[in-house]
Amino acid sequence: MSGWLVGSVSITQIVDTESALPCEMLYPNSAPSELATMPWLAPFLDDNGHIRLVIQSFLVRTASRALLVDLCVGNDKPRGFDGFNMLKTDYLMQLETAGVSPADIDTVIYTHLHGDHVGWGTTHADGQWVPTFGNARHLIDRAELDYWSTQQDSPDDRQSFDDSVRPIVDAGLIDYLDEDDYALTPEITIVRTPGHTPGHRSVRIVSGGEEAVISGDIAHNPCQIGRPAWSCFLDYDPAHATHARETMLADAADRGILYIGTHFPHPTAGHIVHDGDTYRFDTDPQQ
């Protein structure tokens, strides 16, 4: 469990699962041989040269708020993908170790509604799916919710929406995001970064003269920092996803923003640095 302090705002990593995939499986337009040309990428590859990925949430605490950004896969969820099917993880125990219970969470921010970002929205109780964080307002881009409620591309998409999102909608716990930049608190702004999905969002945190961004799926692995043109096969609009990624990377590099990759394994946070005509990811050696 890693954590970071941005001014007075604390961010704690809550990991659900970890896996590794061949680069070309996630990025069909990639050139896997180019991974070896990025030596800084070594911590994010496994022994077979496959890219490492984690499914995780971020617990964000200000002086008065306790928030979660994204909700992973969840336990006991039937899924067609073996890596997500009927999991039994210690996610809630990790939250307790970090000092909060589900009842303490006042806000949940969804970067988007893919199944690996929504699952802990509900838990199974008395034969039905019920909200895990019943005291929280759940913030979702309106275009994102509209899309996934009507255009679910696969059985797993339909299943994850029905068992992890719909019960929260039915319970009246949703607040819809319509603004491009939604200021939740003086420190936290939820910004629209569409492309990976229609209403994809990222989270900016500014406090005490410091700034960080929780990326969402702008990039799944740091290899996309070195090769921003590599597109994920799950991108709803690859051109817009690439534009969002390039815009965020340029901004982070130019302004020294701490970049926290939603799917990046340890070390998860670092700085984007110009590297010739592209970028590299410099991580904090103390992580």
Of 188, 186, 218, the residue nearest 201 (C-alpha): 218
Q: Facing residues of 271 across strands? A: 258, 282
- 3 state SS of 55: strand
Domain ranges of the chain: 3-283
- Asked whether the beta carbons of 133 and 91 are under 8 A apart, the reply is no
**CATH level 3 topology of 3-283:** Metallo-beta-lactamase; Chain A (3.60.15)
Q: Facing residues of 199 across strands? A: none
- Asked whether the beta carbons of 272 and 225 are under 8 A apart, the reply is yes
For residue 10, what pLDDT band results from cuts at 50, 70 and 90?
very high
Per residue in 238-286, pLDDT (tens digit) is 999 999 999 999 999 999 999 999 999 999 999 999 999 999 999 965 4
- Asked whether the beta carbons of 239 and 195 are under 8 A apart, the reply is yes
Mean per-residue pLDDT of the chain: 96
Distance between CA atoms of 214 and 173, rounded to whole angstroms?
A: 23
Quote the tokens at residue 46.
């496994």
pTM score of the predicted model: 0.96
